[in-house]
Structure 1
Amino acid sequence: MAGMAARGHGAARRWAVVVALVVVLVATPLVLRALPAADADVPAADLAAAVLGSADVGFSGYAVSAGGLALPVGDQLPSLADLFSDRTAMRVWWRGPEDHRVDVLSGAGETGTHRDATGTWTWEYERATAARGALTPFTLPAPPDVLPTSLARRLLSEADDAELARIGARRVAGRDALGLRLVPAEDAAGVERVDVWVEPDSGLALQVEVYGKGADRPALDTRFLDLDLAVPAAAVTAFFPPVGSSVRQAREAEVVLEAGRRITPVPLPDELAGLPRRQLEGAPPGIGLYGRGVTVLAVAPVPPGLARGLRTALDQSPDAVRDDAGARLAVGPVALMLVEPGHGPYVLTGTVTLDALAAAAGQLQQDPAP
């Protein structure tokens, strides 16, 4: 009995140690975030330039992205839906834009994305399956795109100086981070503001918060919890399919591109909802992209199966707006509308307002030619 009691006390002590470690791991980021952050007199334009110039800065770390964008993309693109509507934990090793690795960690397993000079490998550990994706002008968002560093560069890439302002400083990942706010100038913008928190010495964005119109909580919040400013070894980011694994071609982006090739395109105008059309190299003529920076509207034909899923989602959503212009839905700063002319369904979507979607749809139906 004494031995059993001793073993019981030993087990209790071990569990006490485990619980203590968990408490420390959970509490440490909160404590670090509560420490005062040192601000610096860096102009907003200079801070944005530092972010845009940080793509080649090497680092490794642990990041978490939390999204509230429940996109109604159907069963064809589940990974895209998960990326923006769920909490995504990512371990990253970054040597450069063409040499990095991002592992997504979840209760279901682990999936790694490895980028090299000619394409990407996606490795599903539990299924022992590797998918090779070619470099194309049209690709769907992937985990590396929602890292604070990558997302900040994308969102700030076309910002005017007049749209930028400084907003103080805060602690992120145990580091002082300078605040930068982007407020888009376009009337059609579905994004109210983007707050970026920047490590001033490296120019790396440590946290990005994207707010929709009238929202007091971010629709997307991606941040580092841990960051090491050292270049990872090349062996960490490199990938070769293990012997015995399954290898396939990644074709997720083809869902939209194939529809664009098969469906007779509507001639698209040079401007929609006050947004100028921009060139999308490599895309079929039936796909159009309008706007700049964080205010973007896409027009694309969709396959019948995906159109049915979108139609059902719009019909069932209590938040959808239904009027003479058609049914449309806003999820945070992202708006979506299905237009079904006689030659095939099109989807209008982007970071624009519902009024902008209605205007664009009416413009397409009344005068589709440039």
Structure 2
Amino acid sequence: MRWRWLVVLGAAVLLVVAPLLVAHRPGGGPPTRPTAELIAQVRASGSVGWSGRAESTGSLQLPSSDSFATLGQLLGEQVELRAWWRGERSWRVDRVRSTGETDTFRDGNGQVRWIFESERATYSPVSTIRLPDAVDVLPPTLGRDLLQGATPDELTAVAGRRIAGVDAVGYVLTPSQTGTTVGRVELWLEPRTGLPVRVDLYAKGGAVPVLSTTLTELTLRDPDPADVRFDPPASVSLSYEESTDVVAAANGLQAARLPRALAGLGTRGGDAPGAVGVYGRGPTTMIVFPLRGSVAGPLREQLERNGAASRSRQGTLAPVGPVNLLLTRFPGRGGGYLLAGTVTPETLAQAADQLQERA
């Protein structure tokens, strides 16, 4: 009778182990040669409907400033997210914390941010120029952004992985731009739609990603419209803000207009910048925007408390992993330009000199 118990035991082991083997099998099939069509498919995946959960982990310790508090949390902590995505103009992303959650709803040209525990919601118009938010660290969104402007020769196929129930195909993006601080980006895609399901970003010479984001659950179909609609309880108060954050507010300034190129980097997408400019392509990005004295002063103090910060004739420079920040001064005023991104200090200094020449 002992063999019967062995059969039962063996069956029990299989019931426990089989799901683990499925979850951790390599997946993805043979690598596919990167092509311009593949890049186009990834960039077009913003129209793919999906829902699921994601986990993002960052190690960038940005300055502690009220204006950049959410950004510091997104890039320097572990973040749990839920998402419902019907398209780039219709989605909902919940950032889940142990103390509550913050939900963001996008509906056409407007968005609502609802802080659940405070019973407070804020409506604001959508700005194309703004600080990164929870939606931007979702693997599909981040993957599309990092492939913006990438060329097939910068991509190499690697072995696939099983991610969120998907046999994902893998690629490594190695940027060819000079002046970048990014060593490589590893990303895995759902093969039928090109939807990025995991993204790992590495600094030059880094063995551990400074930012890693992966889907942990994925359903590939359009969510119900009710899932992305803001429908709060009667107790929630709704207020209005003209700008989503300090960068969007700065871009509304009419007095300043930045050039189309700085330090050899053109604007992302080739559009003419306003008061705020975003330059570079792929994972190499530099953002430039003016700050009022009331924001620049406290931020400058924060930067200068950083042991690695230094002063130069352009201003205060602070490295944060692969991200470098340079805060200049407006002559005779307390404000200045903040230049930040995955570029070298030399690139920021060159851009600051060009801005000074235009002043």
Fold shared by both chains (TM-score > 0.5): yes
1:101: which partner in 2?
A: 92
Q: CA deviation at 1:326?
A: 4.2
Q: Which amino acid aligns with 1:328?
A: L
CA distance in 2, matches of 1:303, 1:190: 28
Q: CA deviation at 1:336?
A: 0.3
Check 1:254–1:182 CA distance in 2 against 1; reply closer, same or farther (3 A cut): same
Question: Does the alignment pair 1:220 with 2:208?
Answer: no
Check 1:94–1:321 CA distance in 2 against 1; reply closer, same or farther (3 A cut): same
2:286: which partner in 1?
A: 297
2:298: which partner in 1?
A: 309
2:9: which partner in 1?
A: none
Q: When the two structures are superposed, what TM-score results if normalisation uses the length of structure 2?
A: 0.85
CA distance in 1, matches of 2:125, 2:131: 12
Q: When the two structures are superposed, what TM-score results if normalisation uses the length of structure 1?
A: 0.83
Q: Which amino acid aligns with 1:287?
A: V
1:8: which partner in 2?
A: none
Q: Which amino acid aligns with 1:69?
A: L
Q: CA deviation at 1:143?
A: 1.3
Question: Does the alignment pair 1:82 with 2:81?
Answer: no
Structure 1 residues 1-370: aligned runs within 5 Å? 34-45=24-35, 46-72=37-63, 74-251=65-242, 253-259=244-250, 265=256, 268-277=258-267, 284=274, 286-323=275-312, 326-342=315-331, 343=333, 344-365=335-356, 367-368=357-358
**Alignment deviations for residues 147-172 of structure 1 (CA, whole Å, 9 cap, x no partner):** 10111111112111221111221221
Q: Are 1:32 and 1:173, in contact at CA under 8 Å, matched by a contact in 2? A: no
1:13: which partner in 2?
A: none
Q: Which amino acid aligns with 2:289?
A: A
**Alignment deviations for residues 29-85 of structure 1 (CA, whole Å, 9 cap, x no partner):** 976553232423422124333322222222211100111122226112322221211
Check 1:251–1:68 CA distance in 2 against 1; reply closer, same or farther (3 A cut): farther
What 5-or-longer segments of structure 1 have no aligned partner? 1-23
Q: Are 2:290 and 2:338, in contact at CA under 8 Å, matched by a contact in 1? A: yes
Give the match's secondary structure for 1:44: coil
Q: Are 1:137 and 1:281, in contact at CA under 8 Å, matched by a contact in 2? A: no
Q: CA deviation at 1:239?
A: 1.2
Q: Are 1:138 and 1:283, in contact at CA under 8 Å, matched by a contact in 2? A: no
Q: Are 1:114 and 1:120, in contact at CA under 8 Å, matched by a contact in 2? A: yes
1:5: which partner in 2?
A: none
User: What is the identity percentage for the equivalent residue pairs of Structure 1 and Structure 2?
Assistant: 38
CA distance in 2, matches of 1:43, 1:132: 44
What 5-or-longer segments of structure 2 have no aligned partner? 1-15
Instruction: Tell me the matched-pair count.
Output: 341
CA distance in 2, matches of 1:200, 1:96: 19
Q: Are 1:29 and 1:174, in contact at CA under 8 Å, matched by a contact in 2? A: no
Q: CA deviation at 1:325?
A: 5.1
Check 1:68–1:28 CA distance in 2 against 1; reply closer, same or farther (3 A cut): farther
CA distance in 2, matches of 1:260, 1:53: 27
Q: Are 2:129 and 2:251, in contact at CA under 8 Å, matched by a contact in 1? A: no
Aligned alpha-carbon RMSD (Å) = 2.7
Check 1:31–1:357 CA distance in 2 against 1; reply closer, same or farther (3 A cut): farther
CA distance in 2, matches of 1:69, 1:212: 11
